[in-house]
Structure 1
Amino acid sequence: MRLPRSAYTARSWRAHEVAGDFAVEDVWALPTPGGRDDFGVLVEQMAGGDTAYRDGLVARFLFAVRWKLGALLRLDRDGDGVGTRVMSLRDRLPADLREGPQGPGFATLPFTSVFQTEDEWLAEMANRTVHGALHLGWVPDGTGVHRAQMTVLVKPNGPLGAAYMLGIKPFRYVGVYPALLRSIGEEWEARESRESRGPGAGKRGVA
């Protein structure tokens, strides 16, 4: 489910301290209810798998087109990434976040973790068109259950970046996001099912 931008901006996330000049592109509620201590499991799931690719022919097609277009237009050159064209957000971190956990590495997607806390994770990527960040937050709903919200933050690189973001917007909503959210939810449910069948495992989702 898509959330208003205030679902991110109104909360006191640490990410505001390091990515306050990024625009909020989208905020989504993820279908991953869990307990207070389950956030790290979700972060590992998001970073470690091929979630974006496993479900949805439209999404897989759009990702394939994106990589082909990137190669043709040289959007993903090494010199246009984090630490070259743009400074890493890790260089902006206050001391306590810099000394804390950075977060996991990504298995397939071109992101790098910036920082991770018990309820917040920020990762970044950059190419010729945009410096982007993915924020994941773990929010209590008042009933003992926590929910995840995913925020996409962007800083387009001039007119080319602005045109690129505008051009891909309808494709993201039609093909990418629905398949992505469905895959995340299915993988989360499958994990809970495996754990509930394990020795001594109880139902997760209550703090």
Structure 2
Amino acid sequence: MRIPKAAHHAQPWRIHEFTHDFRIEDVWSFRAPGAGPRDFPVMLKALKTAYDSRKEPAAVRFLFAVRWKLGALLGWDTPRAGLGGRVASLRDRLPLDLARTANDAAPCTDPFSEVYQLDDEAARELGNGTVHTIMHLGWVPTGDGGYELRMAALVKPNGLFGRLYMAGILPFRYLVIYPALTRQWERAWLDHGRPNRHAAQAMCGGTPGPGARPDQR
């Protein structure tokens, strides 16, 4: 579900310290039924386990195929245009305590690169000839005893062309990409996150307390 951009600023994320020159493009929330305060790493692992571009809806695969084809033809995705070339990695701005956390994170299976990962937030980035994008993921209490995943897309377009590019793909993001992403990520928690969480509790001998919600019993 798309939520106001102010919801991102309202959280005390470390990402705010390093992204003053980025703008917030989108903020979305994703349900994680039965999740607890310590389940953010479980959710991240579930997302990476579930990632498989071949299983995405046909419309999403088509849009990305067109995008990668254009990128190859126009040189948007060459090493010179990406991280370490035209784009300086956000990791170059981090203090040592954050920079070293990326080394402990599970490797990405999608085009993004790790920036840092903490107990309740993580950042990943993608740079090319059109834009430098930060995908920020955070773990937020829902007010009813549960937790949800928040995703904020922070962008720094490459000049006028980059701004026109972002404006041009906006309808496709809202009508195709984000609805598919919502279904995929919420299903990842149900298929890979919650079962692994319960299995870990069982192995540790943990049992829900008397005040646990029904989906935690």
- Taking structure 2 as the reference length, the TM-score comes to 0.85
Alignment CA distance shift 1:166-1:53 (3 Å): farther
Letter in 2 for 1:19: T
Amino acid at match of 2:133: G
Q: Does the Cα contact within 8 Å between 2:46 and 2:192 map onto a contact in 1? A: no
Report the counterpart of residue 29 of structure 1 in structure 2. 29
Q: How many residues align?
A: 205
Question: Who is 2:69 aligned against?
Answer: 68
Residue correspondence of structure 1 range 174-185 to structure 2 within 5 A: 174-185=175-186
Counterpart amino acid of residue 17 in structure 2: E
Structure 1 pair 110–101 and aligned structure 2 pair: CA distance change class (3 A): closer
**Amino acid across the alignment from 1:104:** A
Q: Which residue of 2 aligns with 1:145?
A: 146
**Would the alpha carbon gap of residues 88 and 32 (structure 1) be closer, same or farther in structure 2, given more than 3 Å must change?**
same
Q: How does 1:35-184 map to 2 (within 5 A)?
A: 35-50=36-51, 54-102=55-103, 103-107=105-109, 109-184=110-185
Alpha-carbon RMSD across the aligned residues, in angstroms, is 2.4
Q: Any idea what the Cα deviations from partners look like across 1:95-139, whole Å, max 9, x if unmatched?
A: 3212434433211x2211101110000001100010101000000
1-side partners of 2:7 and 2:159: how far apart?
Answer: 27
Q: Tell me, which stretches of 5 or more residues in structure 1 are unaligned?
A: none
Alignment partners' CA distance in 2, 1:52 and 1:185: 16
Q: Percentage identity across aligned positions?
A: 44
Residues in 2 aligned to 1:196 and 1:48: alpha-carbon distance in whole angstroms? 14
1: CA distance, partners of 2:92 / 2:198: 44
Corresponding position of 1:13: 13
Give the TM-score normalised by the residue count of structure 1: 0.89
Unpaired runs of 5+ in structure 2? none
Query: Any idea what the Cα deviations from partners look like across 1:154-202, whole Å, max 9, x if unmatched?
Result: 0000011111111111011111111111011112112256458869477
Structure with higher Rg: it is: 2
